Amino acid sequence: AQTVTQSQPEMSVQEAETVTLSCTYDTSESDYYLFWYKQPPSRQMILVIRQEAYKQQNATENRFSVNFQKAAKSFSLKISDSQLGDAAMYFCAYRRNYGGSQGNLIFGKGTKLSVKP
């Protein structure tokens, strides 16, 4: 069974600085998708960024980028120029490709990010 591990329960960053959140996963599949979701205190689940396993290029969305290392099964999230609004719980999630999937996500336990002004 696939598992997702987020080894940092809590992280803190100074406003305007850069922070990296770690995520590793375990799978025997070669085709899958990876996601980072943000959950602010409002409880909403907000998609931050996504990555296809077959793509070598790391995904980027404005201040958010990933470092996808397929061989190492690592999918870290880098937040540049951190803002107060980035403070939230961040979840890493895995999904098998459609050939063996029902579309459900497997989540890590989350990393709580605090941003200091």
Partner 1 sequence: NAGVTQTPKFRVLKTGQSMTLLCAQDMNHEYMYWYRQDPGMGLRLIHYSVGEGTTAKGEVPDGYNVSRLKKQNFLLGLESAAPSQTSVYFCASLRALEGNQPQHFGDGTRLSIL
Point out which residues bind partner 1 (CB under 8 A).
Answer: 4, 9, 33, 35, 42-45, 47, 50-52, 91, 97-98, 101-105, 107-110
Q: How far is the CB of 101 from partner 1 (least distance, A)?
A: 6
Q: How far is the CB of 3 from partner 1 (least distance, A)?
A: 11
Determine whether 76 is exposed, middle or buried from the number of CB atoms within 10 Å of its CB (0-12, 13-18, 19+): middle
Measured from the CB atom, the residue of 15 and 61 that comes closer to partner 1 is 61
Measured from the CB atom, the residue of 64 and 107 that comes closer to partner 1 is 107
Q: How far is the CB of 98 from partner 1 (least distance, A)?
A: 3
Residue 33's closest CA among 1, 65, 68? 68
Measured from the CB atom, the residue of 15 and 90 that comes closer to partner 1 is 90
Task: Give CA–CA dist 55/41, Å, rounded.
Answer: 33
